[in-house]
């Protein structure tokens, strides 16, 4: 990555494309909850802060009840505007408008740190989640701003395209400035995105303001016009959520943890006679059946590509439609290897690779 993408000019009024990705091609958004948490952090930062009295909550830890005011995250309301965003399995893009000097870098550092803490706790992961310092590039030309949002939205994933179409209203996303560049606003923007062709002219226009291969980012063939926050993306089978904390944690330690996390005005209550919960029975599986994977296309596309290798640059073997099922073979860095039925279906290979973005687990074969 050119060194210039690590240089951050700090001025009021600048527009910047922010990018970061998982270390060693790690998946950073493993399921729908992960996307929702990241979006929730953005909402915390970019909406008006709540009255502290309204944020008081009740915490119950091992039978003891605590009531207090949780530590409030930093807030950048009226300091930064989020113009557009795109969240993919192993990276994210943000287009930000810095209103107050110094706020952009502070927000991104806090966001990446906060999300890393959430991810590491959930998946018992240690070490750096992101590849390194976030990348950024300043954009001065309004035409490039317009084309960059199209680049975000045509790739699908969890993105701000519904806000630009007017099908979803989100207080912390600001599409009006970009839509004002077009005479007909939302309607014209829809055509602008959905007739998108990543040709040489487009490549030259956005060259220097993106941080990845355009072909890789645009592997999805259609824009995600109906993506909702609850959309589920197939999880990485190598990641497992943190198991239940052992019951040996004492009430005193729990109390100290709450204080350490910034909870104030704590009130404690204890039930008179808690009933222990019996340990669940351990079930054994007597036979292992093949796992069946189902194609799930929720971004408006009619089909998804099947590749010879786990990369968008690999030869395309064919296409799969929503609802098609395949037998699982293996997983590899955000791709699933599946069995292909040769012969009448036209496939010339016994197996192929499909992006995990379009896969959900179905069950086992009978």
Q: How confident is the model at residue 186 (pLDDT cuts 50, 70, 90)?
A: confident
The reply to whether 222 falls in a domain is: no
Would you place residue 175 in the very low, low, confident or very high pLDDT band (cuts 50, 70, 90)?
Answer: very high
Residue 246 vs residue 81, higher pLDDT: 81
**Of residues 240, 231, 215, 225, the one with CA closest to residue 305:** 215
Residue 106 clears pLDDT 90, i.e. is over it: yes
Whether residue 329 is found in the same domain as residue 181: no
For residue 83, the number of C-alpha atoms closer than 13 Å in the C-beta half-sphere is 27
Question: In the chain, what is the straight-line distance between the N-terminal and C-terminal CA atoms, in Å?
Answer: 49
296 shares a domain with 158: no
What is the Cα–Cα distance from 270 to 63, expressed in whole angstroms?
A: 6
What is the spatial distance between Cα 339 and Cα 174, in angstroms, rounded to a whole number?
44
* Domain containing residue 303: CATH number: 2.30.30.40
Where does a domain end: 202, 217, 232?
A: 217
When pLDDT is cut at 50, 70 and 90, the band that residue 88 belongs to is: very high
Nearest-angstrom CA–CA distance, 96 and 84: 7
- pLDDT band, residue 358 (cuts 50/70/90): confident
Which stretch of 13-27, 196-210, 258-272 has the lowest confidence by average pLDDT?
Answer: 258-272
Number of domains in the chain: 2
Q: 296 and 186, same structural domain?
A: no
> Is it the case that residue 142 has pLDDT exceeding 60?
yes
CATH number at residue 84: 3.30.70.1290
How much is the mean pLDDT over the chain?
78
For residues 196 and 313, state if they share a domain. Answer: no
pLDDT of the residue at 259: 52
Q: pLDDT value at position 136?
A: 94
Considering the domain architecture, whether residues 25 and 172 belong to the same structural domain is answered as yes
Residue 262: pLDDT band (50, 70, 90) is: low
Per-residue pLDDT tens digits for 45-80: 999 987 766 667 777 878 888 776 666 678 999 999
Query: Torsion over CA of 180, 181, 184 and 188, rounded to 10 degrees?
Result: -120
Q: Are residues 183 and 58 in the same domain?
A: yes
Residue 342 is part of which domain span? 291-364
Q: Are residues 43 and 150 in the same domain?
A: yes
- Report yes or no on 254 lying in a domain: no
Higher pLDDT pick, 37 / 52: 37
Question: Is 249 inside a domain boundary?
Answer: no
Judged against a pLDDT cut of 90, whether residue 148 lies above it is answered with yes
Q: What is the pLDDT, as a whole number, of residue 231?
A: 37
Predicted local confidence at residue 114, as pLDDT: 95
Considering the domain architecture, whether residues 58 and 164 belong to the same structural domain is answered as: yes
Q: Quote the tokens at residue 102.
A: 């110094």
For residue 2, give both structure tokens: 């050119």
- Whether 243 is covered by a domain: the verdict is no
Last-in-domain residue among 168, 192, 217: 217
Phi/psi at 150 (5° precision)? -65, -40
Residue 339 has pLDDT above 50, yes or no: yes
Domain finish residue from 217, 250, 271: 217
Position 247 in a domain: no
Choose the weakest-confidence range: 68-77, 92-101, 231-240, 329-338. Answer: 231-240
Residue 266's pLDDT is: 53
């Amino acid at each position: 990555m050119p060194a210039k993408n690590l240089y951050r000019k700090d001025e009021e009024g600048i527009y910047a494309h922010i990018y970061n990705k998982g270390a060693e091609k790690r998946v950073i958004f493993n399921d729908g909850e992960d996307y929702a948490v990241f979006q929730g952090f953005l909402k915390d930062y970019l909406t008006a802060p709540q009255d502290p009295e309204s944020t008081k909550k009740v915490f119950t830890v091992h039978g003891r009840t605590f009531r207090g005011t949780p530590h409030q995250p930093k807030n950048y309301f009226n300091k930064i505007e989020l113009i557009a965003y795109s969240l993919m399995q192993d990276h994210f893009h943000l287009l930000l408008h810095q209103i107050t000097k110094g706020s952009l870098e502070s927000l991104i550092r806090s966001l990446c740190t906060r999300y890393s803490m959430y991810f590491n706790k959930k998946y018992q992961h240690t070490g750096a989640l992101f590849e390194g310092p976030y990348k950024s590039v300043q954009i001065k030309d309004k035409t490039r701003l317009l084309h960059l949002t199209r680049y975000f939205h045509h790739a699908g994933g969890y993105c701000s395209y519904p806000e630009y179409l007017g099908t979803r209203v989100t207080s912390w996303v600001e599409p009006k400035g970009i839509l004002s560049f077009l005479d007909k606003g939302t309607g014209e923007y829809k055509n602008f995105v959905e007739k998108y062709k990543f040709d040489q002219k487009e490549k030259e226009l956005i060259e220097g303001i993106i941080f990845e291969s355009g072909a890789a980012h645009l592997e999805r063939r259609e824009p995600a016009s109906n993506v909702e926050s609850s959309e589920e993306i197939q999880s990485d089978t190598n990641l497992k959520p943190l198991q239940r904390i052992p019951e040996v944690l004492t009430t005193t330690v729990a109390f100290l943890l709450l204080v350490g996390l910034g909870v104030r005005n704590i009130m404690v209550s204890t039930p008179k006679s808690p009933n222990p919960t019996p340990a669940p029975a351990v079930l054994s599986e007597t036979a292992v059946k093949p796992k069946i994977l189902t194609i799930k296309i929720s971004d408006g596309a009619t089909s998804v590509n099947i590749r010879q290798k786990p990369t968008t640059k690999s030869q395309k073997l064919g296409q799969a439609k929503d609802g098609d099922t395949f037998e699982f073979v293996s997983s590899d860095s955000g791709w699933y290897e599946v069995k292909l039925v040769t012969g009448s279906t036209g496939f010339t290979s016994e197996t192929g690779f499909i992006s995990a973005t379009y896969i959900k687990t179905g069950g086992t074969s009978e």
